[in-house]
Structures are given as C-alpha cells and as structure tokens.
C-alpha cells in the first residue's frame, strides 16, 4: 500500500489533531442575542429557548457583564414593547425597550459591541415586519419607519443597527438617515440573505411576533433560491452595509461558502432559535451530546465562511472553547 495516501497519520494523536486543525472556535466568534421586554420586574425564563430570558431593560446589564467576562465581543438586542400598534410606533420611541437596553448595556459593559435588531414585527399588532395596508406589507412606507427606528437606536448608543425586515432599499435609506442625523459612526449589519424559514419558531414565541395573518414569504427569500441570497448581499453592500448576514445558518452553509468567496465584507451567520432548540431538545432526551453537537455546528458555520455567529449557545460555547 505504499502508493496510498495515508491521511490517518494526521489523526493519530490529540496533539497532532490540534496542530493541523483548520478551523478554530473562540469566544471572539460569538454574538449573544438578548431579549428585553417592558413590564417585567424580574427576568423571565423562556420555555422555547432554555437558558434564555426576557430581561427587564434595567437588569440586562447583568447578562451583558457575564458575556463580556467570557470574552464574547458583542450582543444583539431584541425589544418587546408593552403596547403594540398598527405601525410599530414603540420601535422608535426614545424610551422603548431596545433603546433603554442599549443605554443599560453601554453603561454596564462598555467594551461590548452593541447590535440592535431593527425591525417592526416585535412592535406591530399584526406581527408583520412592516406597515400593512389592505393585507399587503408596504415596502417604501416601511422603510421610512425603519430608518427612524435605526436613528433612535443609534441615538441610544447602538454601535450597529441590524435591519432584519427584508424590505428593498432599507440599507441605503438607513445609511442616509444615520448620516444626516450626524451618526455616521454607526454601522449597518444587514440581514441580507434571510430566508422564510421554519427555524424561527421558538423566536416568534419569545418575541410574540408571529404574523396574525399570512406569512413572511412576500419579503423573506424562498428557501430554494440561493442566488437571490447572493444578489441581496451584493445589493446591500452597494447600499452601504458594513457587515452582511446569512440566516439561518445550518441549512444555508452553501451560501456562507459562496458569499465568502465572492465578497470581501465581514460575513455574519445567524444560528437561529430553531437550530438551538433542536440541539437542546435532543440533548434533553439523551439523544445527542449537547456540547459536541453545538460545537460541531458552530465549527461548521465558521468553516463554511462566517466571520462570526449570532448564537443562543454563545455563553455556554464561550466557556467550552476557553477550556
Ligand atoms: C424578526 C426576526 C426574526 C428573527 C430575527 N429577527 C424572526 C422572523 O423573521 O420571523 C429570527 C431569529 C431566530 O429565530 O433566532 N424580523
Ligand atoms: Zn421582523
């Protein structure tokens, strides 16, 4: 067998496997998503996202400090307001849950990069990501409200706003609105290749943002359409996005790989709530080892091309990979 290439030599000891390892995880790769809700005195555990909470804005500094101590560079904030209306007005209120949480985190853990999710679905009574008229989600009317929301998040101190709505032209409109408000230092992380996925189930329960009629297929990308994901990334970069994202991560590794080859911008991936829930649920039943499964998934997301990953496993994984 001398002609055979003996690849097993490279796997022969733990030390050698570490030396030749092509992909390494570190806490530097993780961003922790956080939910902040109005009307709570205490944090409230989330049944569909074990290990996560809805936080009162005034207490979210506790978990932000924990993330910072574990070496996690950033957090992504989602707000759940006390009152929802047709136009999602609480999204751009100076004292809205997201805005208060941003200020709290900036004072508790000033070293963290704060990303604010910029969308209306958590704030609208109908649960759609935009302004609805005659059963239709309007594009340009939504973009105006998103731009106002981004400005109010940036004024509260967000380092990045992160539009997750999938309306056309929102990145450019947000960029222009930030610049004309004197907020040119605030970045835009665009949810660019965001698909109409079944994997958002647990999140919608947590954020109370499931649409009350219809679905999100007229604005999120149809799962079979990978090229649309790439076109969306290209368009968002042209409109001024600083960071682009693929979401979900696991079923869209092909897009992470293609986007990494094609574009020079930082590339983020969102390891979404349903992906986390599948691992948690299987681990609870003893069907998979949670640590191995979670780290394998996160490694694959990075191997495919992501520079960093929004993940509900951030706190646990940061501790695991620091060992
Ligand atoms: C809202 C939003 C969603 C997620 C992030 N921002 C849900 C959706 O689009 O329905 C999903 C995150 C997750 O599942 O972890 N626009
Ligand atoms: Zn939304």
Q: What is the domain-level CATH number for residue 137?
A: 3.20.20.70
Position 208 scores a pLDDT of: 87
- Which atom of ligand 1 sits closest to the CA of residue 272? 15
**Contact present, 216 and 200 (Cβ < 8 Å):** no
Distance between Cα 23 and ligand 2 center (Å) = 32
84 is catalytic: no
Q: Give residue ranges with CB within 6 A of ligand 1.
A: 117, 119, 121, 129, 164, 200, 203-204, 216, 272-273
Bridge partners, 37 (sequence order): 80
Does residue 100 fall inside a structural domain? yes
Tokens of 110: 């000033």
* Number of domains forming the structure of the chain: 1
Determine which helix (DSSP H) or strand (DSSP E) holds 54, and give its type and residue range. strand 53-55
Q: How far apart are CA 322 and CA 104, in angstroms?
A: 27
Does residue 239 fall inside a structural domain? yes
Distance between Cα 13 and ligand 1 center (Å) = 42
Cβ-in-10-Å burial (0-12, 13-18, 19+) of 63 comes to buried
Q: How far apart are CA 130 and CA 138, in angstroms?
A: 7
Does residue 64 fall inside a structural domain? yes
Closest-CA residue to 28 (of 322, 276, 323): 322
State the helix-helix crossing angle for 97-108 and 139-156, rounded to 10 degrees.
Answer: 30
Nearest CA to ligand 1 atom 2: 164
Position 179 scores a pLDDT of: 98
Does residue 12 fall inside a structural domain? no
Does residue 37 fall inside a structural domain? yes
Which residue range forms the structural domain that includes residue 266? Answer: 21-321
Position 323 scores a pLDDT of: 67
Chain segment 96-122, per-residue pLDDT in tens: 999 999 999 999 999 999 999 999 999
- Which atom of ligand 1 sits closest to the CA of residue 199? 14
Of all residues in the chain, the percent with pLDDT exceeding 90 is 98
Position 275 scores a pLDDT of: 98
**pTM for this structure?**
0.97
CB atoms within 10 A of CB 69: 10
Distance between Cα 203 and ligand 1 center (Å) = 6
What average pLDDT values come out for the chain (323 residues) when binned by 10 residues?
88 97 97 97 96 98 98 98 96 97 98 98 96 96 98 98 98 98 98 98 92 95 98 98 98 98 98 98 97 98 98 98 84
Those residues with Cβ within 8 angstroms of residue 30's Cβ, 6 or more apart along the chain or in another chain = 72, 73, 298, 308, 309, 311, 313, 314, 317, 318
Does residue 120 fall inside a structural domain? yes
Does residue 286 fall inside a structural domain? yes
Does residue 274 fall inside a structural domain? yes
């Amino acid at each position: 067998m001398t002609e055979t290439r003996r690849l097993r030599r490279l796997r022969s000891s733990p030390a050698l496997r570490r030396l030749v390892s092509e992909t390494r995880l570190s806490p530097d790769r993780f961003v922790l998503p956080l939910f902040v809700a109005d009307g709570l005195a205490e944090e409230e555990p989330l049944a569909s996202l074990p290990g996560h909470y809805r936080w009162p804005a005034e207490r979210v500094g506790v978990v932000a400090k924990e993330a910072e101590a574990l070496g996690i560079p950033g957090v992504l904030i989602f707000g759940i307001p006390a009152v929802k209306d047709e136009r999602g007005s609480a999204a751009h209120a100076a004292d809205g849950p997201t805005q208060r949480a941003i200020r709290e985190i900036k004072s508790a853990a000033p070293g963290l990069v704060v990303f604010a999710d910029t969308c209306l679905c958590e704030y609208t009574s109908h649960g759609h990501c935009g302004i609805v008229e005659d059963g239709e989600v309007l594009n340009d009317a939504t973009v105006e409200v998103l731009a106002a929301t981004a400005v109010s998040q940036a004024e509260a101190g967000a380092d990045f706003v992160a539009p997750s709505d999938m309306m056309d032209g929102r990145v450019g409109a947000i960029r222009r609105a930030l610049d004309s408000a004197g907020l040119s230092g605030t970045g835009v992380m665009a949810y660019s290749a965001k698909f109409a996925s079944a994997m958002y189930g647990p999140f919608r329960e947590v954020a109370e943002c499931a649409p009350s009629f219809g679905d999100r297929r007229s604005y999120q990308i149809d799962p079979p359409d990978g090229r649309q994901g790439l076109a969306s990334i290209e368009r968002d970069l042209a409109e001024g996005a600083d960071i682009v994202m693929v979401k979900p991560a696991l079923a869209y590794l092909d897009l992470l790989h293609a986007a990494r080859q094609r574009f020079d911008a930082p590339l983020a991936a969102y390891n979404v709530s349903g992906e986390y829930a599948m691992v948690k649920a299987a681990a609870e039943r003893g069907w998979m080892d949670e640590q191995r499964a979670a780290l394998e998934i996160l490694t694959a997301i990075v191997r495919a091309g992501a520079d960093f990953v929004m993940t509900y496993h951030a706190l646990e994984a940061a501790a695991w990979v620091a060992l």
